[in-house]
Structure 1
């Protein structure tokens, strides 16, 4: 590390206490980074990719990912789009966390407009993957069969991913 790049407390080979202002600046920057990561957890990986800092992609891992995507139809019993799978996984996570989920929160979590979410939910209900809620403002619940099948699919996905690493 060049002397000009050294932290303030280590310049010229001498250690000195940081001022409250310097600590405040560091804490603010740390808070900004944590907030940015919470808003977009992929940003760090994208920044690494731009600088060529990511490890080489293992073709076995890519094939495993494709296998996992194909298996979702086998486990769920019907073909589901990526968007529908996102909705199902958001519902599954909320159920595991034992927290209620409104349609508005589900739409936001899935990155969908409310009308688009409603369209997907209609198809998921028709496929008997979700049960309509008593309160239309609430998100539907996974059927017990869907919850069981998602759990099995996720277990298979973890096993496949572990074998590919």
Structure 2
């Protein structure tokens, strides 16, 4: 699988699946989640509501992933995953890595060849950008799904992109 770093807006990525850094309600929010719901339109929210009414009555658990339509986005699917809130007192990195691994598993089940990921938990959930990049790259570099040929880590802004590029280059 090829891993590419992209500076930009995840909602503009022309890929098979866009990963959403969702909250457990699956009903939209701020940051990446809000942008995906706004640009994707009501079809995403409708499928999220159906998921809440059936399989995820209490919300999507942290680290898990589930797919919906991508609505008006230039993708076929949105894969929603709930990242952990950063804690300096508790190591939650396994949950963060699970977001990437489970999103890749769902992408593979869908037959998605190209997947765009945001930097999960690095926004309002407070995960330090450097470590968030390391956690993402650890999972993406070790992954061996059968269908995904390209994973894009889409970074919003020049600062996070520069950090990611430095870490990726260091290996």
Bigger relative contact order (CA 8 A; separation at least 6): 2
TM-score (structure 1 length as normaliser): 0.26
The structure with the greater share of residues assigned to helix is: 1
The structure with the greater share of residues assigned to strand is: 2
TM-score (structure 2 length as normaliser): 0.26
